[in-house]
Structure 1
């Protein structure tokens, strides 16, 4: 009888462990594509990052650690050498070599890739041997290793075999084999993909690294509606929610069997304006562009009641700022750069009148509705605020899969964008977002398409300055210019609480990245 009881206990423990090895999680939107060089968007990157490895990766505190590269050395200011990890296999069994690195950097630098600026910043990779690569840069790159953490490594032979040597052109609705199929070296392998419904992964039994967690299977199911997503977590239908609605946080904290994991994200949310066209695409103003006038941009800024936005829309889950860097470390914690222009409706009206728009005007604000925390609600709140100074703002909120291709074509007049990730250095926003649009991916996310020669000079100088003090001065001068010219309308840095069942352990990183190999799912509470 004792042996039978012992056997039953062991069997029960085993069944509990087995059932705990599936992680079922959700957020409000789906990843956009499985092609790792096609869309530079956080959820897409973070899920593809479980399948594809980079040369170096981030630890739990966002430090740079070895991945497919085991060692690196800066031979000179413009030359880096990396030794590659040996005995690594892609999911189809093919060996990983330097050829895959060279191919992937070139693919990431393709004109169709939003990662182009990062890949180009790595210079020209040259094969020294099958397991050593030299990167020859045109100029000094102060964040070379951080750029190396952003380009996923693909299998050259597999990609070429499937006619996907160039990345999928997402904004023009191109379709390729890599849109629904994968072949990486990462800790998880794709099992099935049903866009906007469910994507399933299994653990890679041949992964080169040590997996700390116990998750054998991952099921990702996007749930657009906030209430439905919360209900699914509370009922136990899912185990983890990446983006619980701010209005649900208090309830979740008091719900038995559920916990909230708080954390600040390195991400700035801001509004951009078309400052290039002579006439806006979506406005009743004809023959001229009001956003070219500094006074109009200042008026929009002064009419934003950011504290009310924080209190009523974000339920306190936001840190207002006047800066355009994802992290205050990007401004070197400079109070002058972090300070906001004051909320002042009278001044806003005076500025509009001085600019010739005393009666206001009408314009469309394009917004995602499933990308950032309360993104559509923020846009609707801004519309109400700007109505107080006579500007009628029509909000067009769309799913991320529709919104981003539209914005990337510059098919916007007024738009929302969030920018951030693991890099806290200002370079992460200066070159891809604040510089004017140029070749090799520079300014790709400058959807307002403004051009400022002085700003470009400062950004270019800071991106190759080796002296830390001189570089700090250049960065601060560039950010001050962005601030003085009101080239963007900064709102806040997101605070990202995660919500999970009480038996789930996850590491909350400041880049809002859920690393599956660190997750532990214990037996469900009875």
Structure 2
């Protein structure tokens, strides 16, 4: 199934019938209560390049061009962003776009934002990747500007689609605590900030002067409910109207209870995969079966390929994830720019895996620990357990250790794992995965920044660097496909497992436009036709 066909099917699932029973009063019907897994870590739209933070920021602020539910670009503050030459982009601002204080968006606001976004103190996940390519922002006239880059940067519009434009008037000299306190939460978005405290609900009200389509609900409250079962219970009890990240078994039940609830789902662009320590001679969690130190077998591409073939992806999808996933053999889901139709999920082939292990000199196997989170992805701990069991059948002594999200993120960044369950969403091309996960770690170039296995191949690096400076779409697509085939088919730089399916459930009478990027946005919610 193509991504577009899957999205169409998901949109059909998201169309509920009439709400039964006594209606809520008029004021309550204009309020939307959303149960989310987590609130923002900060209201500062440039503090952290995290999907959750960006999603909340998009309510109060806007980027130049924004991504729709399929991650195609559409106008936001800008009406157009076009190529002038290989290092120059011309941006036309929408004269209707106004900050909440009534002031128009100016070239100075855009320049101020680009200067600020990659340089926020203590940022745990900087937007510098988006702003580093920019050499200058120049005014052409009151509503036109040109952005000059150091080198051709074909993904610049998509990078900047995640950078929210802030008011220079309010933001100059403002700190992250000023945003968190609500003092400078002045954007152009469809909602105005009302209140927030860490760990407490985020409350917003509709912006009556928004230049785009008006949100369906006047007041929105995002309630952080970390536990999936508790989110489900809150929807069933009527304490919230909409929830995200629905456990597979409960999703099926909500879908079956069409008289009370509606559901929405979409294939995700997030690849769930295994990183493998292919760099260190002595890897921290790879040992001989007797516990002795051994030369790291994960450095051998044959061993990495064997581990991939020993994983039954269909079983992971059907049993562990109860059908809420799509088995993966590429870095992006079907239909994504840069994917290759021939990169299908590797078949489960235990015999071939054993032959490769023997060829590499590891017929008797070795001991390995599989790490991962236990509260980050759907059924993540069960996935890690299942993979360890599959590798045991290959002859490995495989153990498991999972951590809570915060600990797991920190330890993964410190390279404390040999094998780790991870997830990443390209933005919005496969090239985004190649740059961050496959390219050799290079702090100066800003590449390989999430390459936790420290995989490195000079020939693949050269292809990635050519692709990232190629403006021509077809040429960039070909380079991306070539680099991906080499990385996955020849080298098994990482082990792709599956693409998640994003899920939402809601009380009947509400609709939700399911998204590939996992964001839960209040302006994607609507009312069912009566």
Q: Same fold (TM over 0.5)?
A: yes
Match of 2:459 among 435, 454, 463: 454
Match of 1:294 among 293, 301, 313: 301
For residue 324 of structure 1, report the CA deviation from its aligned partner: 1.4
SS of residue matched to 2:275: strand
Paired position in structure 2 for 1:396: 401
For residue 295 of structure 1, report the CA deviation from its aligned partner: 2.2
Paired position in structure 2 for 1:317: 324
Inter-partner Cα distance in structure 2 for 1:180 and 1:272 = 39
Paired position in structure 1 for 2:14: none
For residue 303 of structure 1, report the CA deviation from its aligned partner: 1.4
Paired position in structure 2 for 1:148: 160
Mark the runs of 5 or more structure 1 residues left unpaired by the alignment: 1-12, 165-175
CA 1:194–1:479 in 2, change beyond 3 Å: closer, same or farther?
same
8 Å CA contact 1:259–1:500 kept in 2: the answer is yes
Equivalent residues in 2 for 1:56-455, closer than 5 Å: 56-60=65-69, 62-86=71-95, 88-91=97-100, 96-110=105-119, 113-129=125-141, 131-164=143-176, 176-178=177-179, 181=182, 182-211=185-214, 213-255=215-257, 256-284=259-287, 286=293, 288-332=295-339, 334-337=340-343, 339-420=344-425, 423=428, 425-438=429-442, 439-455=444-460
**1:412-437 deviation digits (Å, cap 9, x = unpaired):** 322222222662x2222222232222
Inter-partner Cα distance in structure 2 for 1:323 and 1:307 = 15
Which stretch shifts more, 286-295 or 297-306?
Answer: 286-295
8 Å CA contact 1:21–1:521 kept in 2: the answer is no
The number of residue pairs the alignment matches comes to 497
Match of 1:43 among 39, 42, 52: 52
Inter-partner Cα distance in structure 1 for 2:348 and 2:43 = 43
8 Å CA contact 2:39–2:202 kept in 1: the answer is no
SS of residue matched to 1:49: helix
Q: TM-score, normalised by structure 1?
A: 0.85
Q: Is residue 19 from structure 1 mapped to residue 23 from structure 2 by the alignment? A: no
Mark the runs of 5 or more structure 2 residues left unpaired by the alignment: 1-21
SS of residue matched to 1:376: helix
SS of residue matched to 1:475: helix
Q: Is residue 480 from structure 1 mapped to residue 485 from structure 2 by the alignment? A: yes
For residue 66 of structure 1, report the CA deviation from its aligned partner: 1.7
Inter-partner Cα distance in structure 1 for 2:140 and 2:445 = 25
8 Å CA contact 1:23–1:218 kept in 2: the answer is yes
CA 1:389–1:238 in 2, change beyond 3 Å: closer, same or farther?
same
CA 1:81–1:319 in 2, change beyond 3 Å: closer, same or farther?
same
8 Å CA contact 1:114–1:441 kept in 2: the answer is no
SS of residue matched to 1:329: coil
SS of residue matched to 1:45: helix
SS of residue matched to 2:329: coil
Paired position in structure 1 for 2:6: none
Q: Is residue 34 from structure 1 mapped to residue 37 from structure 2 by the alignment? A: no
SS of residue matched to 1:491: strand
CA 1:422–1:66 in 2, change beyond 3 Å: closer, same or farther?
same
For residue 453 of structure 1, report the CA deviation from its aligned partner: 0.9
Inter-partner Cα distance in structure 2 for 1:405 and 1:236 = 37
User: Root-mean-square deviation (CA), in Å?
Assistant: 2.9
**1:60-110 deviation digits (Å, cap 9, x = unpaired):** 554322211233332222211213234655456666422221232233344
8 Å CA contact 1:252–1:260 kept in 2: the answer is yes
Q: TM-score, normalised by structure 2?
A: 0.84
